[in-house]
Structure 1
Amino acid sequence: MNSATVGVVIVFVIVAIVVVFAVRTIMRRNAQNAADQVIASFQFNEGALRLTESEIIEGYGEDATRHPVAGLTATVEDSGSVNRRLTATRMLLLGPFSLAAPKKLDDRELFLTIEGPATGILRSVTLKDKSAATGAAVRRFAMAINTASRVAVPESPES
């Protein structure tokens, strides 16, 4: 075997190990979601939030923090903007065509705030280089929390 072949084999083995661990992690999380009867989940910058009919779970494992869903309210707020600017490199490389291809600066983020009688959770998602579907998914997750909260809150007796 020559050194190029050995290099390719080493890279292949490393990629295979990474793929095996990624698949194993996904399978464990799916099994944990099934065991906890998770109805919705989302991976935020700070970690996963998982929703069941009766609680919100922060993360995975036995040490995951659990909050009762009754009485919680979830809201989504956005921050940041997309700006375009000309850079010296683009002007040198593209000349007058750089006006048609300005550099895009995207610092948008979504913040999910979950508040309740004894609960306060804040999570963020950076929207840079992500599809519009990410924002919609965060909003759907907030709607699922609000729906589960309304269902879990017992009806107050009418006076």
Structure 2
Amino acid sequence: MSPRVFRETVENLSPILERRVTFYRKPLQPDHIVAYALYRWASGETYESSSCGFGIGRASGLVAVRDVTAALLSVYREKVAWPTGVWKAVVLRAFADKGFPNCHGCIDCTHIYIDKPANVAPEDYYDRKRRFSVVAQVVVDLDLRVLDVFLQNEKNGHVRD
């Protein structure tokens, strides 16, 4: 991600991510929160190891990722969507020209390692290597814009999207 895109993203998400100063702590700044969430998604590291490098606690890391996800989906709702109208025709034609008729996007799945879930049967989140994870399915279009995200655990199915 270029510095310009990072700055623009932080600027757009800041109204949602800004925190109040309290008696107990100085709040994390929006650029710090966004940088951590992006790093966590890109690296796949555990919250314990990744949050330490950013000078924040595990709980703050969990909240940061949750809040940045919600903010991105709120601010960029038109960017995370299935193609419609003329753009849908362009995408369908481009994929058909590449030998994939009636295709709207590309799909891939991967395991995302998570901390041990609380208040659920932990064995439901074990992968084949006995690590806690969820399976992420992501669909992107020709320009690598995210069209859909679906998360599920190994055993019981749908987590959220």
- TM-score bracket, shorter-length normalisation: under 0.3
Rg (Cα) greater in structure: 1
- Relative contact order, CA 8 A, sep 6+: which one is greater? 1
Q: TM-score, normalised by structure 2?
A: 0.25
Higher strand share: 1
